[in-house]
Structure 1
Amino acid sequence: MTTSREKLLALMDAALKAADPGVQIPRNLPEPPKGKTIVIGAGKASANMARAFEKAWKGDVEGLVVTRYGHAVECDQIEIVEASHPVPDAAGEKAAKRILDIVSDAGPDDLVVCMISGGGSALLALPGPGLTLEDKQAISKALLRSGATISEMNCVRKHLSAIKGGRLAKASAPARIVTYLVSDVPGDDPAIIASGPTVSDPTTGQDALDIIRHYQIDIPQAAKDLLQSAEDETIKPDDPCFDGHETIMLARPQDSLEAAASVARDMGLNAVILGDAIEGEAREVAIVHAGIAHQVANHGQPAAKPCVLLSGGETTVTVRGKGGRGGRNSEFLLSLLLQLRDQPGFTALAIDTDGIDGSEDNAGAIIDAKSWQTAQKAGIDLREYLANNDAYSAFAKIDDLLVTGPTLTNVNDFRAILIE
């Protein structure tokens, strides 16, 4: 007999399989160029994407792709390097410089194929004029702790970069560009995914300054000067570098939710997709999800049990505690557990689909009604762990962490709540 946890793990597997870019790339190959084919890219899925392209392409390729430490895969002709995420490092800066050098030599008969997925913002770490890598690192850490959304963080990042916000496309001209995308952002906007290195940008330096002020983030004077200067100008849609540019969306959060819903229905469950672009504080989003779960259990709405509630998007965590460990999905589940502790027949899972929730080694966690009982028997005050943003430690103590290792894709959060 399949257990409730096994059911949710099967839904997770379906979601991850639907997000595998290697399946879609062979079906979406561009026309071969007269000249060279150059493959570049950045992101947690970029190495997997590069390998799929290399295997499917009829002809020689060359190039360089940067991915997160531990996410590399072997390619025969495309060089794969690793760098730090979510805070950039010198390896990412070096890789970004090399990528710019590579595309700067491309001619009008060449094809530049760019592999972009979530994580690319940190991995393409090339500071804008007047900034240092240390400046970028400090600003990245502050943004990650602030509670800013991914679109807000990437707005700031691109305006402090020498490669994002369309600048990589500008450097690739006059070559033809094809960009493959794996979306990890609510709404699937190419200008936000990895801060849009090959697409035009509608935001301004003033937008970035407004975000900095709203979250009361202290940035170096050099960063303020850049955001206020003419050098901040990103590349706009009418720039000739975008002539003939093609963007191909390989995987989206919605695709994974629909795949999981299909498997759930085959199991005899009612499947309700709450949304693929849910944002907000992880602990607050959990309270809303818990309310819907109670409505299913008590009133059969929006669907009768057995029912699974599915959602995606990217929640945020405003760090209040000190020394806590964990990511947004673990924090979501810890808050959810506190809300559903007296609700029998529930099981819940939440992961970051790249396999790494925050900066720890877990993808997320999986919980049920027994999780609360286990914590109580062990004398674990889950409220205290939540207050300290220490969900990882809490779930480690009750053996509810979910470890998948790098998945080589990234379509943001995947959440599933089963009510039976």
Structure 2
Amino acid sequence: MPFFAYKARNAQGELIEGILEGSDTSSIADTLRNTSLMPIDIVISNTKEKSSADNWWAKLTEEKVTALDLQLFSRQLYTLLKAGVPIMRGLAGLQESATNKTFGNVIQDLRTSLDSGRELSAAMLRHPKIFTPFYLSMVRVGEMTGRLEEVFLRLFDHLEFEREMGERVRTALRYPSFVVIAMAVAISVINLFVIPAFAKVYAGFNAELPLVTQILIGFSNFMVNYWGLLLAMVVGAYMGFRYYISTENGRYHWDKLKLRFPIAGKILLKGTLARFSRSFALSSKSGVPIIQSLNVVAQTVDNAYIASRIIQMRDGIERGESILRTAVTAGVFTPVVLQMIAVGEETGDLDNLMDEIAHMYEREVDYELKTLSSQIEPILIIGLGVVVLVLALGVFLPIWDLGKVAMHHK
């Protein structure tokens, strides 16, 4: 993607300049607005980052910055700021101790930007692939309120929650994924090597084969003769699907469909709403205006359908509607959650109640993930049983029939 040089003003009217990577000027403008900066001028830059201009191979093979790197950075920066260490000295220490060289270079760039007079949020804005709009907005609020160390602690907790949630999902899906892959490999081997061998034996019998056997032999012959076409179709379907979900409309419909999947759909919905509640509570406690909070939180839920419902809530609040009414209209919250939102809005303690909602969803997701294997196992066993039954009937029915004929002739 190209680089764009921008000029923008912050809430105090100060001019901020920098370079950002993006698809077009609109995406750069959106990124700036999400961090409370008002874009003045955005033009394509002829100068590129050193790593991409001078050494593309180094950029290709460089170590990736992980969520854990960012999480530890947030915690360490909180500790340093709380102890009264100047931010420039703290960043210098973090750069020296960084085990990830790529992230060490990012910290070096932050120091250079700060040294040239930029604010920390503006310096982080130069690295949109590492610091998300939500992260940048929180840092910006910390700078405006003078509670930067508290914001970094809350960001650490938020990133910890995100990492734990992802790890739980991966752990729960490991066993079912292994079983499904093993079944697919077994079926491929049987169709490519085992059934053709039996087909040669049956051909010598000159007898009419059962329908199941004919279907299996026909499918096996198709795989043997056209395996290249099948592979191309699978790859083409995968690439087409990836392209479809990369579009705005495709991503919206796919994310909406995922929430309707049996078993997994309710887990995805609860996990997404837990992420929304946690992010909203964090923004509210940090002093972010509710309109801006919903705008930024919509980008953290990682689901285009839920994000559209959150934007719908934001638009309703801008028109003067209550949070409860917009939440009811969104149609994704349970009655219990709506009741807690109503109480929070009435008492003015919405941020703490949203935290409670996040904890409630987290507990439910944790329970669902712990029982996920036991819920999926019957489906896997039934599926495996059906496959084995079809293969057994297809392979052994002709042998059984021929055996009966032989016994009858005797």
Please report the TM-score for the alignment, with normalisation by the length of structure 2. 0.23
Structure with higher RCO (Cα < 8 A, 6+ apart):
1
Which structure: greater helix fraction? 2
Which structure: greater strand fraction? 1
- Which structure has the larger Rg over C-alpha atoms? 2
